[in-house]
């Protein structure tokens, strides 16, 4: 990845507790916010990864959002750039985000999260409402179903086998039919085979963190948390999502007061990868339609002190298994 004018790159910083670092993150300033008069223009958007994603997976969407918004991306604990171990519950991941926002002196942000990241974003909005101006939750569920739990346990058994010596590429092979739509699989066979080989080369620590992330979503119920969310919210479902089925996403939207619902007609669970332009358009239309009261101040893209965020470091090239989520 290369820098562009006006961008900020932020690497792993020293943690607030002095013992564990902040989430590895990247912050890019908007390229053209001054040309957009919508209330949300110039206000920061936080992108939250699916379980097997990394910040690189967001590139097409981040590029489009970055025309008018600062974009903050991070890897959760145990993902590719942030040291593990991964949290084995959802809530501590939201606490990590609060620590990151505090360190960057960002009081309120818009949140766009997918899958695992969407669930963490829901908790962030419910438990820290003063920090979340709006929420876009993509391919998420209000709770686990029996099939979801059984699938997650099956994947954990695959991970256990890999840690015992099996080929790491078997993880993607075990997931591919569920996370991608049939049409995407047909059209991208070579790319998916290459990603399977890429995953097979990742270190054991990464697979140990995958197990932790899977444990965090093996059984959850966010119905009560959803009812506490008061920020403007858009829930996005995908018609061919077999990980977090669209009916559970619709139930989530119904549980959040005033939430809107959008549905992609053909995508599977990895909507971020299958149709990033569509998702970016939906997110921008949602943000552009927010009232001024729902948006952070236009100068919220920069820390309150006017100086660069803590932990600024040169960018690093990511060897990422981009585009995979749980």
pLDDT at 10: 40
Of 81, 240, 245, 79, the closest CA to residue 151 belongs to 245
pLDDT value for 239: 97
For 186, counting Cβ atoms within 10 Å of its Cβ (0-12 exposed, 13-18 middle, 19+ buried), the class is exposed
Cβ(142)–Cβ(247) under 8 Å? no
Residue 9 lies in a domain: no
Q: For residue 12, what pLDDT is reported?
A: 35
Model confidence pLDDT, tens digit, residues 133-160: 999 999 999 999 999 999 999 999 999 9
**Residue 255 placed within a domain:** yes
Number of domains in the chain: 1
The β-bridge relationship of strands 25-28 and 71-74 is antiparallel
**Spatial contact of 78 and 52, defined as CB atoms under 8 Å apart:** no
In the predicted model, is pLDDT for residue 209 greater than 90? yes
How confident is the model over 48-88, as pLDDT tens digits? 999 999 999 999 999 999 999 999 999 999 999 998 899 99
Residue corresponding to tokens 């910040």:
55
Q: Is residue 213 part of a domain?
A: no
Whether the predicted pLDDT of 89 surpasses 70: yes
Give the span between the Cα atoms of 195 and 300, in whole angstroms.
37
Backbone angles phi, psi at 93, to 5 degrees: -65, -35
Q: Which of 250, 284, 315, 321 is nearest to 112 (CA)?
A: 284
Stretch 197-206: mean pLDDT: 95
The whole-number pLDDT of residue 42 equals: 76
Q: Give the strand pairing for 233-238 and 109-114.
A: unpaired
pLDDT higher than 70, residue 315:
no
Q: Is the pLDDT of residue 11 over 70?
A: no
Q: Provide the pairing of β-strand 233-238 with 260-264.
A: parallel
pLDDT (tens digit per residue) in 18-56: 335 899 999 998 887 555 656 676 789 999 999 999 999
Q: Is residue 234 part of a domain?
A: yes
Q: Which range is least confidently modeled, 90-99, 215-224, 307-316?
A: 307-316
Q: Tens of pLDDT along 100-135?
A: 999 999 999 999 999 999 999 999 999 999 999 999
Residue 170 domain-assigned? Answer: no
> Does position 94 have pLDDT exceeding 90, yes or no?
yes
Domain that holds residue 98: 25-147+221-298
- Are 55 and 318 contacting, i.e. CB atoms less than 8 angstroms apart? yes
User: Distance between CA atoms of 222 and 291, rounded to whole angstroms?
Assistant: 27
Please state, in angstroms and as integers, the Cα–Cα distance from residue 205 to each residue in 2, 182, 238, 250, 271, following that order: 28, 31, 31, 36, 27
Number of alpha helices (DSSP H) and beta strands (DSSP E) in the chain: 12, 7
Q: Where are the beta strands (DSSP E) in the chain?
A: 25-28, 45-48, 71-74, 109-114, 132-138, 233-238, 260-264
Which residue reads 């020293």 in tokens?
14
As a whole number, the mean pLDDT across the chain is: 86
pLDDT higher at 313 or 236? 236
55-53-65 Cα angle (round to 5): 45
* Average pLDDT, integer, range 211-219: 98
Instruction: Judge whether 293 lies within some domain.
Output: yes
- What are the pLDDT digits (tens) for 160-186? 999 999 999 999 999 999 999 999 999
Query: What is the CATH classification number for the domain harbouring 32?
Result: 3.40.50.1820
- State yes or no: pLDDT of 243 exceeds 60: yes
Partner residues linked to 236 by β-bridges = 138, 262
The pLDDT score that the predictor gives to residue 296 is 75
What Cα–Cα distance (Å) separates residue 236 from each residue in 11, 122, 135, 239? 30, 13, 11, 10
- Residue 241 located in a structural domain: yes
Average pLDDT of the residues in 212-235 = 98
Instruction: Say what the pLDDT of residue 309 is.
Output: 38
Q: Confirm if 134 and 68 have CB atoms less than 8 A apart.
A: no
What number is the average pLDDT over the span 242-248? Answer: 97
What pLDDT does residue 36 have?
A: 61
In a domain, 210, yes or no: no
Q: Which pLDDT score, from 0 to 100, does residue 5 have?
A: 27
Cβ neighbours, 10 Å, residue 60: 15
Could you tell me the pLDDT band of residue 304, with boundaries at 50, 70 and 90?
very low
pLDDT at 292: 77
Quote the pLDDT of residue 322.
38
186: alpha, beta or left? (left if phi > 0; alpha if psi -120 to 50): alpha
């Amino acid at each position: 990845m290369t820098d562009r004018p006006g961008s900020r790159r932020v690497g792993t910083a020293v943690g607030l507790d002095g013992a564990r670092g902040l989430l590895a993150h990247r912050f890019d300033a908007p390229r053209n916010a001054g040309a957009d008069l919508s209330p949300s223009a110039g206000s920061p958007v936080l992108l939250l990864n699916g379980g097997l994603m990394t910040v690189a997976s967001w590139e097409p969407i981040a590029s489009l959002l970055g025309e008018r918004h600062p974009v903050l991306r991070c890897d959760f604990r145990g993902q590719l750039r942030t040291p593990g171990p991964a949290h084995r519950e959802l809530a501590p991941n939201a606490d990590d985000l609060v620590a990151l926002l505090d360190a960057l002196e960002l009081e309120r942000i818009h949140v766009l999260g997918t899958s695992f990241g969407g669930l963490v974003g829901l908790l962030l909005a419910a438990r820290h409402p003063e920090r979340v101006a709006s929420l876009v939750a993509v391919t998420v569920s209000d709770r686990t179903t029996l099939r979801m739990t059984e699938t997650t346990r099956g994947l954990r058994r695959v991970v256990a086998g890999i840690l015992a010596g099996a080929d790491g590429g078997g993880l993607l092979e075990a997931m591919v039919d569920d996370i991608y739509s049939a049409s995407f699989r047909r059209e991208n066979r070579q790319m998916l085979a290459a990603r399977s080989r890429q995953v097979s080369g990742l270190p054991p620590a990464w697979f140990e963190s995958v197990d932790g992330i899977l444990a965090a979503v093996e059984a959850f119920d966010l119905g009560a948390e959803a009812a506490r969310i008061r920020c403007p919210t858009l829930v996005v479902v995908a018609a061919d999502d077999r990980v977090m089925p669209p009916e559970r996403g619709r139930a989530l939207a119904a549980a959040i007061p005033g939430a809107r619902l959008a549905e992609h007609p053909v995508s599977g669970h990895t909507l971020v990868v299958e149709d990033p332009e569509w998702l970016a358009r939906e997110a921008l239309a949602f943000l552009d339609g927010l009232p001024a009261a729902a948006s952070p101040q236009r100068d919220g893209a920069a820390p309150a002190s006017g100086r660069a965020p803590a932990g600024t470091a040169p960018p690093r090239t990511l060897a990422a298994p981009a585009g995979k989520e749980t």
